[in-house]
Each structure stands twice: as structure tokens, then as C-alpha cells.
Structure 1
Amino acid sequence: MTRPHLLFLAVVAIVWQPLSAQDIDCNALLLNDTTIRPAVEAWLNSGTRQETEDLYGPISEWDTACVTTMNSLFKFAKDFDEDLTGWDTSRVKHMDLAFEAASNFRANVSTWDTTNVVSMNRIFSRTSLLDADWTGISQWNTNSLTDMRLAFLASAGFSGDLTGWDTSQCSSAERLFEGTFAFTADVSGWDLDKVSSMDNLFKNAERFEGKIGGWKVSSGALQTMQYALSDLIEFHPLDREGNNVTFLDWNTENVNDMSFILDGTQDFDTDLIAGWNTSALTHLNLAFSRSKHLHGTLQSSSWDTSKVTSFSSLFVSSENFTSPLISGFDTSSAIDMNALFKFSKSFHSDVSGWDTSKVRTMEEFAYESSDFMGEGIAGFDLSRTTSLQEAFRGVTNFPIDWLTDWNTSSLKHVRDMFRDAEWKFEEDAPLPFSLCWDFEQVFRIYLEPLTCSSPNVGIDCDCISFSVAEYMNTDCGGPPCLGTPPEDTETDEDSVSADNATLLEEEVVLLESGSMRLLMRSSSPMAILATVVCFWML
């Protein structure tokens, strides 16, 4: 073939080659990013549907070649069953909330080209999928997908096969399955190596039986898992073969925050997480709060908590937790233990091995905790602790001898520390020990009267200054100094002089800026109810 003929064929090829999606003149098309959503909304409205079809034609034949975003396109579209296989979605990049709350959606979208879609945030959220048909989405190409946060948020009954989805570019799985009900879809084998956050991943999921076995989470990119497994009810993940998953084999070596991770979860098999690498963990706030009936082999010694600085509210409102889950925690870096056992029930664990030497604050530590019997608390090192505000308020069966050896030299806040507490004593047992705490740093002390049914309470003048005692007696209605009570616990009240009379039920406990000594002896079978009263500012 001559050179002129070759040139002619080349020109013809250029002229006659089909127009690609990039060559389409979008200005000449009626449907684009600006008009597509109003058009769908108008079509969904039976009153304007005909007018919409007069303008754009039947919805199944719409030319969507220039549409790049389908955000909220079919949001609230109920009982939609039109054929959308002819739609050109090759340019679409965003499908956020595209089908949110679209109940009973039955349109065939299996042919959609999702090659360029980068975002599917909340795409199926709040959708009732029990009577819908989403089988077609298993064929979607998600090679470009980077954002699938909240994709199935609060959806019900999803049972599709999504094993073919490419999730290798996704950087976040936040709230992905949060609030799902009866989720049984197969999402096994997903590559989540680039995911840095799994916050709220399965939060509040109920009857979850999805296949999640074989997830690739091995790169160490994962850093935060707040609420990841919280509020779960009947959580039974499966592997690819449909067997129960026994361990979530994820690389957690760089995860620094697991706050709320099992918050509110019930009947959870801790074997799923017992072997996690927690060497980078710094926050465990509310990690087991409100949890009930945790079972399995998870022990505190299973997790490395040597870098955790905050144990705040770790077991708040928890029930039925056991010593193995608590006693072995490495608390050597702990600074915050606020509300750690607040509202907890039947706490009988041994914490004698806990290192509290760096703890700064223990406010509401065991606030309103019934039947609180933490063995080893008497040995806590509180030399750096500045606040015990409401720490033991409302605690029942509180052994008073826990408090005798505490170093309180750094304390600044003690308001309501023992308010409404019930002290535990052996009936009519003598209490020869003294409570003489150092309150030199305290700049505001609120003390409340002790209800002295048993034992009697005396203030030792040797441990306080006369001026402070005089101030308290004068301004707060407190009793005169009693001196050191005699060792004989059978003292006859009639023999006590008027100046050293037995304290009444609403007498004031005296604290001063230097120190305090509280001497007690038992004289009746009732337990003391201690409460925190009087204001004093240095």
C-alpha cells in the first residue's frame, strides 16, 4: 500500500473513532451534576412525574453520561423498581448517601460502571434491605474506592455477597456496620491494610452474622478503635466457610486509642480480642463501661497497658466483671483514674498489684459503687494525687482501714469524698488506728458531718492546730476537741464530761491545712454513714 493510502486511512480512523466519555459535550446534555438530583426528586413525586418525563424521557432511558456525583440521588426513594441498567455511570466519582433510607429498593443497578467512584459514604445507610434486591452490587468495580465510612449504617437485613469488592484503597472503616440489624452479608477477604480508623465499626450492631473472616489488617496502619465493638447484642461473626470466628486476627500494634471499645456490650466472647497487640495503647477510657457478662479468656495480663495514661471510667456501670480482667493491668503510666469503678456492682477484685504512683486524679473513683470490696486499695500510692473529689461517695461496705496509710501530701480537692458512704466495721470491734492525713496543699475543703451511730468519733487535738479547731468550733458549730479517746471501747457516756461529750449524729469532722487525725472506736452494731461537710478555703 502506498504512503498516500496509509495517510488517508489514518485520517479516516481519527475522524470515525467513537467519542469517548471524555469527549462528550456535557453542555449539550440536559442532565448533569446540577440537574440530576432535582430531576430524580421530581420524578419520584407522582404529581410532577409526567412533566419530568416530558422533559427528560422515561427515567430508564436518561442520559447520565455527564453526571459525576450521585450524592443523595435516591435518598428516601421507597419501593423504587425501575430499570436503571441503561444508565451511564462511567464518570461518577461520588455516591455518598445515594440510597440512604431507600426502603424496598429493587432497581437493577448491576451494570453500573463504578470504576471511578472514590466515595460511598453512607451509600446504604438506614436502608431496610429485608425486601430489597441488592444482588447486583456484588459486581461493582471498587478499585478506586477510598471512602466507605458509614456505608451500611443502621441498615437492616443486608445479605449480599461483597467479596469481590476491592477495598485496598480505603483509609477509614469508621461506622461501617454501626447499628446494623441481622447483617449476614459476605464481606470476607476484604483488604483493609490502609485503614487507620475503625472507630464505631460494629457499634450497636444486633444479630450480626456477617462473614468477616480473612480480612487483611496486617500493615499496622490501624491507629484508633474507639467504640469499635460497643453496644453489641448477639455478635457472631463468621469466617468464609460459615464457621464462627474465634479471633479477630488484626494487626493492632499501632492502635493508641481503644476508648469505649466494649462499652455497653453484652455476652461478648473476649477470645475474639484476647490476643491483640496493645503495646502502643495510651487510652482505655470507658473501654468496658456498661458491659455485662463478658466471657472468654481475656485477662488484663493479655494486654500490654504499660503506656496507658488514662483509665478513666474504665469499668463504670459494669456488672459481673472478674479479677482476671482487672488485677493484672499494668498501670505504671496511669495519670487519670477518674470514675474508674463508678456505679459498678459487686466489685470484689484484687488490685494490689496496681501502680498508682503517677496518678494525678481519682475523682469519683468508686462513686455510688455498691458492695465495693477492692482488695489492695489500702496500698495505693497517692503521693502525686491532687483530687479525690467524690471518690468514695455512696460506697457501701467500705473498709475504713483502707485509708490509714495513704500519702495525701499532694491532695488539693476532697469535696464530698465520703458523702453517703457506709463504713464497714466488725460489730462492736475497737478501732485503735488513727487517720492523720496531710492536707497542706488543700486549698478548698468541703467537709460534711458524720452520722455517728457507730462508732463514736473524736477529734485529736494533737493532730490539729488550736486556731483551726477554734475556727471550726465557732463558725461551723463543731464540737470541742475531745483529745485522744481512751482505748477502752466500753466507755460509759454518762462519765464523759460536758466539754468532751459524745458526738451527736450530725457533728463535724475537722480537717485543717496541715493534717487531720480521726480516731474511731466502735460502740454499737450499726455501720457509719460518712458524708462530706463544711467549707474551708485557705
Structure 2
Amino acid sequence: MKTYQFLCALATLGALLWSGCEDKYRPQNEEELLKLVRDKNVKLNKIDTSAITDMSLLFAQLSPAVCKGIQQEQELSELDKRILLVCRYPYVERDFSGIDTWDTSNVENMQGLFLNNQSFNESLNAWNVSKVKDMLGMFQGAKNFNQPLNTWNVSQVQHFDYMFADTRAFSQPLDKWDLKSAKSLEDMFSFAASFSQNLDSWQVEHIEAFHNNRFGFDKYYAREVIFWDSPMVANLPIWAKEPKPPYPHTHKPKDRAELVAILSKKYEVNGEFYEVPLSAIDTSAITDMSFLFANYEGCDFFLTLLKDSKAVENCESSIKYRKDFEGIEQWDTSKVIDMKYMFYGSERFNHSIQSWNVSKVENMRSMFQGAKNFNQPLNAWHTASLKEMVYLFRDAEQFNQPLDKWDISQVESLNSVFAYAKNFNQNIQSWDTSKVINMEDLFEGAQAFNQPLNNWNVSKVLNMEAMFADAKSFNQPLDKWDTSSVKDMSSMFSGAESFNQPLNTWQVGNVYDMRSMFERATKFNQPLVKWNVSNVYKINYMFVEASHFKQDLNMWNINIWNILELEGIPSYVFEGSPLQSNPPKWYKNLVGQKRE
């Protein structure tokens, strides 16, 4: 490595005099900079990057397979040569603090700068990117990056392809960006799992390459696919929406069948076919909107499971592929009773329907299940008639809206209502759960949820199986719950890695199944000595990998436990917990009886 110049050195009479300021490295080319950033002992704020013009792939995490493949190439492109250079200096995990101070005013190439970098999430808003021409793949695969970039001057950038592709957290405003020099935006936001911002202001008419058009996509679809499999497919900017000619008719279907027939139609203008606008349909007579826009894969299996003719009807129609939901907010739903599966799997649906009158709706089963981009307010809905809401928001990945004003006093099952709604984190403690008997899977996989629930009336609940399974953030008190009716607590806190609240006052005398109840609940370590477990006969895996649990369980009454349900070694109940090496006496006795 060359000897680097020091910025704070002053030349006087042929000697270098130190001014007391901090020393800095001043790399003169890309390889010198690469060597520095690969040394995790070199702090980034000690590097003066003012001479650097190329930062491509600087912090990219390239796989060994990529490096090996490049080494076997006979002819190398400029990009291949750059990859080969980066492969010579293996990536090291490092502290990125200070990177915001870098002088990037001379940089022209930032291609793949943070490609597949899983740990990077530092502010870059102060960077001067006014000379940058290439940002291809700059943050591609940088799954945790989510920092403001809206002040960047990107007016010289020509290539934005894959820039935010396969990011998981990024969702920052970019509406101030000037794309006047842009030549290509191919897959810019493809698989950007969180990105949902207004980009209507972007001027893109001069851009020809939105997508590698080997499939012959039309102009607007080619623009749409830069957002492939991201929340933006349900919230496309105006320049990605195909303008539609006026529709001269109004329809007033008398029942669901007529409504489906209308929605299945296309109208033709100058040889082009368009969906009937939803604003042209008067739904005031409709009582049943079930399955209306449901889009499910594997129809045969799904229809066999449901055994519902309306599901068959939907599966055979084109309604499930609908893109444009403009006008649906005008629908009169005042007579509707059934909305089950209405938007099931509809990934393009993210339209405001807060104004709907749902006061007569009794069934919302799976209404938004799998509508992974839906995230609109619903709190003004009057739900006093609601009886069925199982799976309502299951797999609605983006949904995170207040629901505290909902009346669910007639509901008996909350099975999977928020299961795998990974962003949902709203306070619903005000819900009247006095009639609920089933809370199975209620928050399973709801990774963000961490709200108070201690005031819920759970006195009639029979099933709490997997209620908080893999709810990784949940850690709220539940000690006031009356659990005297519960029979099944299997997997209740399995994978709830943050949960560590007192439960010793719970009445568990009717519980028969506690399998995997605290499996992988890695922080849980609360006394359970007061529990009456005399009716429990299934405890397989109950504390497996509960790595902090070390409470005394010797006092548990195990007189009717079915030892045939147990594996023959203690590790299948306590493996990975502190009790593995010294399990309770009753367990040692059970294992001994089993082996005999």
C-alpha cells in the first residue's frame, strides 16, 4: 500500500509541520480506497475521498461463486475487472459510522456500492452526488437500509437499474429527484418489500428503457414492472397507469351474479380492451360481495377446501387479475352482509374504502388475507353486526392501521386475525372479547406487534394455541387474564423471543396441552410454581431452547400425565435450556418409568 498523504500537514522550509488536527488517509485511486475500507481498524471518517471518482462495488458483499466465475472468464468487461479487483480483498464486517462525512463530489460511478450489504444503514443524505452517472444496483439487496435520500442531486445519473431492488426496509420519499438524464430504470424497485412512496412528480417521458422488453410489454406495463412484487404495484404513479377512455354506461346489478358478470366484461375502444370502471357500477342492491376480487393460486385445492360455488365462479373469471380499483370508494355497501374473501390474495389492492357503510356486514372472514400491500384506514367502520372475522388480516404484510374503535362484541373466534401481518402494531386493548372462545394463531408471526392486552376478557377462551408464536417483539403483561377455561396452550409463546412477563397467577387447571409452549422463548424466565398442571398430559418440547429458563418446577403435580406422549430422553422437553442438565425430579422419574 502506498504511503498516504496527510491533509493536515503543512510544508514550511522543506519540513512537514503538524497543525494539531487529526491525520487522514488520502487514497488516490479505487484500489487504495478498497484496501482501506477492508481494514476494519481504519475508521471511515479518517479517509479523505475527495480524489475518488469510482466507488463501484466498494462495500458489496460478493459470493465466492461470483468471484470464482469471474476468475474463469476469458474476456473481461470493465465491470468484470472491477469485480475481480473487489474479490481480491475479501469483505469484512465493519463499523460504517463516519461514512456520512465522505467527500463524494468527484465520484461518477456508484454502481453496486452497497450491493447485498446486509448490515449497512447509515445516513447518506449529505453526500454530494451531483457528478454521479451510474447508480445501477447501488442498494440492491441492502435489506436493512432505510435512510433519507430526497435531497440528492441525481440530475446527471443515467442508470438507475436495480437501484433499490430486493431491499426489505427502504421506504423513503424520492419525489424531489430530477431524472432528466435518466436512460434506464429497469427493475429499479423490484422486490422492494417496503417501498411505498408517491412518485407522481417524476418526469419520465424521455426514458426508453424501463424494462428489458424481450417479452414485448406495452409502454405502461413496461413502466409498471420496475415495481415488480413491491407495494407499489398497488399504488402505481400516474405515469405507470394507462389512461382510459370515457365509459358511457352505468350499471345497477340486482345481485352478486350480475355484479360478477359486469366485472368480468371488457369494453373496446379503437381495438383496445379496458376493464369496466368501478365508478360506473351502482352496488346499492348488493347483499353479497364474497370472493369478489379474490385471487388464489392452486384453485383446485382451494376450491375443494372451501366447497363454495362462488369461489368456483371467481376462480374461472378474470376479475381476480384486476389492476384498477379507482371508484371502489364510491360503492354503496349499506346492504351488504357477506364480504368474506373479498380481497383475498389481491396484491394490487390498496385503495381507500374507509367511507364504506359496513353496518350490516356479518362475515369478513379472510377479507384481506394475503392482500399483502393493503394499508388503508378502516377505523371509522361500524362493525357491530360482525360475527365472523377469522383470518381477516392474515398475511396482510403492510397493514398497520388503528382498529381500536371496532365493535367485535358478537365475535366468537379471532383465529389468525393478524397472523403474519408482520407490520401490524396497533393498540386494540379496547376490543370487547367477552364472547371469544378461540384465539388460536391470533398474533402468530406478527413480528412488530407489541401492544397492551392485559384488560382483555378471555374468560371464555378455550384455545390459545400458537397465539403469540413467533411474535418476536411482543413483551406485554398478561397476568390479569382469566385463563380458567383454556384447554390448549400448545406453542402459545413458541418463538416469542422477547417475551418475559409474569404468568404465575394464571389458572391452568383445565389445560391439557402445553407442547412447545415456551419453545425458543429465549428470554422467558418467570416462576410457574403455582400452576395447577394436574390435567396436562402433553408437554413435549415445552421448554426446548428456552435458553434463560431456570425456574424450579419440582412442585408440579404430574399424577395423570400421559408418559407415552413423552420422548424417552429429557432433552425433548428441556433441550437447550438450563434445566436440560438438571431437570425436575418428576421428569427424571417419568423418563425412568418410560425406559422401564
Decide whether the 8 Å contact of 1:263 with 1:291 is kept in 2.
yes
381-390 vs 261-270, which deviates more?
Answer: 261-270
Letter of the structure 1 residue corresponding to residue 557 of structure 2 = D
Residue from 516, 525, 547 that aligns with 1:422: 547
Structure 1 counterpart of 2:447: 319
Structure 1 CA distance for aligned equivalents of residues 392 and 583 of structure 2:
47
Which residue pairs with 1:436 in the alignment?
A: 555
Deviations 1:226-255 (A, max 9, x none): 222233344355xxxxxxxx4454332232
The answer to whether the Cα contact below 8 Å between 1:159 and 1:185 also exists between their aligned partners in 2 is no
Contact 2:474-2:498 at 8 Å conserved across structures: yes
Structure possessing the higher radius of gyration over alpha carbons: 1
Matches within 5 A, 1:249-398: 249-271=380-402, 273-295=403-425, 298-324=426-452, 326-367=453-494, 369-398=495-524
Answering whether residue 365 of structure 2 is matched by residue 226 of structure 1, we say yes
Which residue number in structure 2 is paired with residue 510 of structure 1?
Answer: 588
| More moved, 401-410 vs 411-420 | 411-420
Task: Give secondary structure in 1 for the equivalent of 2:556.
Answer: strand
2:570 is equivalent to residue 449 of structure 1: yes
* Structure 2 equivalent of residue 174 of structure 1: 290
Alignment of 1:7-406 (within 5 A): 136=247, 138-143=249-254, 148=259, 161-179=277-295, 182-210=323-351, 212=353, 214-218=355-359, 220=360, 222-235=361-374, 246-247=377-378, 249-271=380-402, 273-295=403-425, 298-324=426-452, 326-367=453-494, 369-399=495-525, 401-406=526-531
How far is 1:391 from its partner? 1.8
Aligned-residue offset at 1:392: 2.1
From the superposition, tell whether residues 148 and 415 of structure 1 become closer, same or farther in structure 2 (CA, over 3 Å). farther
Maintained 8 Å contact 2:253/2:285: no
Counterpart AA for 1:351? L
CA distance in 1, matches of 2:365, 2:595: 40
**Following the alignment from structure 1 to structure 2, what is the Cα–Cα distance between the partners of residues 210 and 229?**
12
Shift of residue 281, structure 1, vs aligned partner: 0.8
Higher relative contact order (CA 8 A, sep 6+): 1
Structure 1 residue 292: Cα displacement:
1.9
The structural deviation recorded for 1:145 is 5.1
- Name the aligned partner's letter for residue 446 of structure 1: L
- What TM-score do the two structures reach when normalised by structure 2? 0.47
Q: 1:268 is matched by which residue type in structure 2? A: F
8 A contact 1:159–1:186 mirrored in 2:
no
* Structure 1 counterpart of 2:250, one-letter code: Q
Cα 1:339–1:133 shift into 2, 3 Å:
same
Task: List runs of 5+ in structure 2 lacking aligned partners.
Answer: 1-216, 219-239, 267-272, 296-320
Unaligned runs of 5+ in 1: 1-102, 105-128, 238-245, 426-430, 465-508, 513-532
Is the alpha carbon distance of 1:142 and 1:385 closer, same or farther for their aligned partners in structure 2, counting shifts above 3 Å? same
Alignment partners' CA distance in 1, 2:582 and 2:537 = 24
Deviation at 1:144, TM superposition (A): 5.3
Report the AA paired with residue 380 of structure 1. Answer: W
Amino acid of the structure 2 residue aligned with 1:373 = F
Q: Counterpart of 2:517 in structure 1: which amino acid?
A: A
Measured at CA, do residues 158 and 309 of structure 1 come closer, stay the same or move farther in structure 2, by a change above 3 Å? Answer: farther
How far apart, in 2, do the equivalents of 1:270 and 1:149 lie? 30
Instruction: From the superposition, tell whether residues 282 and 454 of structure 1 become closer, same or farther in structure 2 (CA, over 3 Å).
Output: closer
1:409 aligns with 2:537: no
Asked if the contact 1:323–1:350 (Cα under 8 Å) also holds between the matched residues in 2, the reply is no
The Cα shift of 1:365 comes to 1.5
Cα distance, 1:132–1:535 mapped onto 2, change above 3 Å? farther
Normalized per residue, which structure has more strand? 1
Task: Write the distance in 2 (CA, Å) between the matches of 1:140 and 1:275.
Answer: 34
Q: Which SS does the other structure have where 2:566 is aligned? A: strand
Distance 1:341 1:204 in 2: 24
Deviation at 1:384, TM superposition (A): 0.7
The residue type equivalent to 1:441 in the other structure is I
Give the distance between the partners of 1:248 and 1:397, measured in 2 at CA: 34
In 1, the alpha carbon distance for the partners of 2:537 and 2:261 equals: 45
1:250–1:347 distance in 2 versus 1, CA, 3 Å? closer
Q: Which amino acid aligns with 2:570?
A: P
Give 1:169 deviation, angstroms.
Answer: 3.0
Match of 1:188, SS state, is helix
Within 1, Cα distance between the matches of 2:356 and 2:243? 27
CA drift of 1:199 comes to 1.5
SS in 2 for 1:510: helix
User: In the TM superposition, what whole-angstrom CA distance separates every residue of 1:352-401 from its partner, at most 9, and x where no partner exists?
Assistant: 2222110011112222x1524241323221011111122222332331x4
Identity of aligned residues (%): 21
Distance 2:479 2:557 in 1: 23
Q: Structure 1 residues 151, 203: CA separation in 2 closer, same or farther (over 3 Å shift)?
A: farther
Q: TM-score, normalised by structure 1?
A: 0.52
How far 1:337 moved relative to its partner? 0.6
> Which amino acid counterpart does residue 395 of structure 1 have in structure 2?
A
1:260 deviates by 1.4
Q: Work out the CA distance in 1 between the residues paired with 2:294 and 2:248.
A: 20
Counterpart-to-counterpart distance in 1, 2:382 and 2:257: 20
Deviation of 1:407 (Å): 0.8
1:387 and 1:284 mapped to 2: Cα distance? 20
Query: 8 Å contact 2:424–2:446 — kept in the other structure?
Result: no
Contact 2:528 2:553 in 1 (8 A): no
Q: 1:145-193 CA deviation, whole Å, 9 max, x = no partner?
A: 556469869x9x9875434533233232123233566534202342323
1:311 CA drift (Å): 0.5
Deviations 1:279-327 (A, max 9, x none): 10111111111112225xx423221111111100111122111123x33
AA of the residue aligned to 1:265: A
How far residue 406 of structure 1 moved from its aligned partner, in angstroms, is 0.9
Q: For 1:327 and 1:247, how far apart are their aligned partners in 2?
A: 24
- For residues 215 and 452 of structure 1, the distance between their equivalents in structure 2, rounded to whole angstroms, comes to 51
Root mean square deviation, CA, Å:
3.7
By how many angstroms is 1:136 displaced?
Answer: 3.6
Structure 1 residues 418 and 254 mapped into 2: Cα distance closer, same or farther (>3 Å)? Answer: same
Kept after mapping to 1: 8 A contact 2:554/2:584: no
